[in-house]
């Protein structure tokens, strides 16, 4: 077995908590996780990817502003939990809450047979600074766009993962 780690770093600016915004904390938890080498072929869900999907859609539809994103704690583990703190314009709060309810239901349906212990929750959070809009756009684009899971199976040895990738900590 072998692997390559990619560490992405970038500079960003923070901005004061936007006025007339509602802040939330969303958390995905209780996924199976596992070792990125041993368990990547089991179709397990990745908490970082799930939270990133929510944030991307929220940013596109409601002007969501990201304050914090944290998920996974090991480079070679499929992350079991992740959370984010973000803001939505107060005028879009009801629309966002309806979107969240629908989105959470869709994720639960996806998880039904693969991740029976899947949980997603949201709560209001205190106001906090947010990252600048350009960095947020690039970060969310990368998180949503990055491949995750099995890329190719071995042709020489059936059942052996040849190439895979895991969006970890």
Q: Domain with 106 in it: what CATH number?
A: 3.30.70.360
Phi, psi of 21 (to 5 degrees): -130, 145
Are 143 and 24 in contact, with CB atoms under 8 Å apart? no
Predicted TM-score (pTM) of this structure: 0.91
Q: In this structure, is residue 110 part of a structural domain?
A: yes
Q: In this structure, is residue 138 part of a structural domain?
A: yes
Q: What is the CA radius of gyration of the chain?
A: 17
pLDDT in tens, the chain (169 residues): 566 778 888 899 999 999 999 999 999 999 999 888 888 788 889 999 999 999 999 999 999 999 999 998 888 888 999 999 999 999 999 999 999 999 999 999 999 999 999 999 999 999 999 999 999 999 999 999 888 778 888 899 998 888 887 788 7
The number of folded domains in the chain is 1
Q: In this structure, is residue 103 part of a structural domain?
A: yes
CB-neighbour burial class of residue 101 (10 A; exposed 0-12, middle 13-18, buried 19+): exposed
Q: In this structure, is residue 47 part of a structural domain?
A: yes
Q: In this structure, is residue 4 part of a structural domain?
A: no
Phi, psi of 127 (to 5 degrees): -60, 145
Q: In this structure, is residue 6 part of a structural domain?
A: no
Q: In this structure, is residue 140 part of a structural domain?
A: yes
Q: In this structure, is residue 5 part of a structural domain?
A: no
């Amino acid at each position: 077995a072998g692997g390559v780690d990619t560490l992405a770093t970038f500079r960003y600016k923070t901005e004061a908590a936007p006025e007339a915004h509602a802040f939330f904390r969303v958390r995905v938890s209780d996924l199976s996780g596992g070792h990125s080498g041993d368990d990547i072929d089991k179709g397990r869900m990745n908490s970082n990817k799930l939270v990133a999907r929510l944030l991307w859609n929220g940013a596109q539809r409601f002007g969501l502003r990201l304050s914090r994103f944290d998920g996974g704690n090991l480079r070679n583990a499929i992350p079991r939990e992740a959370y984010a703190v973000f803001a939505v314009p107060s005028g879009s709060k009801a629309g966002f809450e309806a979107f969240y309810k629908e989105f959470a239901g869709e994720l639960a349906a996806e998880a039904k047979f693969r991740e029976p212990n899947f949980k997603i929750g949201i709560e209001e959070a205190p106001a906090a600074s947010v990252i600048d809009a350009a960095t947020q756009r690039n970060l969310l684009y990368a998180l949503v766009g990055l491949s995750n899971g099995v890329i190719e199976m071995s042709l020489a040895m059936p059942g052996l993962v040849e190439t895979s990738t895991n969006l970890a900590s």
